[in-house]
Each structure stands twice: as structure tokens, then as C-alpha cells.
Amino acid sequence: MRVENWHAKEVFGQIADEALKSANEVMDDHAAAAKLMCPVGTITREGGFVKKEVSFIPSKGRNKGKPVSFIADTWTGRKPGSLRNSIRRVNKPSRPGNIRVYAGNFKVYYARFVEYGTAKTRPQPFMRPSFNAIRNKIISRIKAGIKKVPEVK
């Protein structure tokens, strides 16, 4: 049997493009849901970098078990809604299909403290619940996107 007029490279390229487009849409929905669930504080503090001493004992690496101490620039400012505004989808250009949603940046370093809590504060998860809400729909939405390609039935 011989198949004629079928361009495998183009068809598979279209399928991959539609799958990535659908996956990006799913992760955009995840980021939007996380922004809705993200707690917003009321504290406003003028910002600036200050030098602080950082000390810890690493549990891995060549300095494992040895105390490490250094001076670091630390951001001290805070504005209500900064954490919510830092939630974003990121595509890794070096790895197509590697799509991530991040919260926080160098000024909003406390995203993990809010999500998981600390010894003094209770956790207020916003990333995990928003992902868990769409987890079961991810594959079906990507498959629906692939079915938009005319050659796929």
C-alpha cells in the first residue's frame, strides 16, 4: 500500500504547534486562577536594597555541614498585590514544550513562604490548588487542540 500526497513533516509540525498552543492556553488559565486565589496583603513599605548577613548550613554540595556566611543585598520594599502581579507563564526556548508558571521574583522573594507557610505563619496555598483544579482537563484540552488539524480525526 502506498500513501500519496501526504506530507508527514508538515502534518506532524501542525500537530506539535496545536499541542503547544493548547498547553500554553491551559497554563495561562492556571496562572489566571492562581492570581485570583493569591492572597493580597495590606502592608506598604518603601523599598530599597540593604546589606544583610546571611548564615546557613548547607545540606548538600562541597560545603555540606559547614557554616556558610556572607553579606547579601536584600530588597526591603513591599506593595500590596506584588505577589499576585509576579505570577506568570514562562516558556523555555531551549526546551520546546517546557512550560512553567512561576510566582515571585528577586523583589517578591516570599512566594514560597505564602504557599507553604513558615514556622510563624500558616500556609496560604494559591499555586497548587489552581493547578489541581485544571489537572484532569489538561490532556483532554491538548487532544482537542490537536483535533483542529484537518488531517487528524
From residue 132, alpha-carbon distances to 27, 89, 128, 140 in Å are: 12, 16, 6, 15
For residue 13, what pLDDT band results from cuts at 50, 70 and 90?
confident
Reported as half-sphere exposure (CB side, CA atoms, 13 A), residue 134 has a value of: 20
Residue ranges of the domains in the chain?
1-39+79-153, 44-77
Which pTM does this prediction carry? 0.72
pLDDT tops 70 at residue 1: no
Pairing status of strand 88-91 against strand 49-56: unpaired
pLDDT tops 70 at residue 3: no
pLDDT tops 70 at residue 153: no
For residue 129, what pLDDT band results from cuts at 50, 70 and 90?
very high
pLDDT in tens, 36-79: 999 987 778 787 788 988 888 988 888 899 999 999 887 777 78
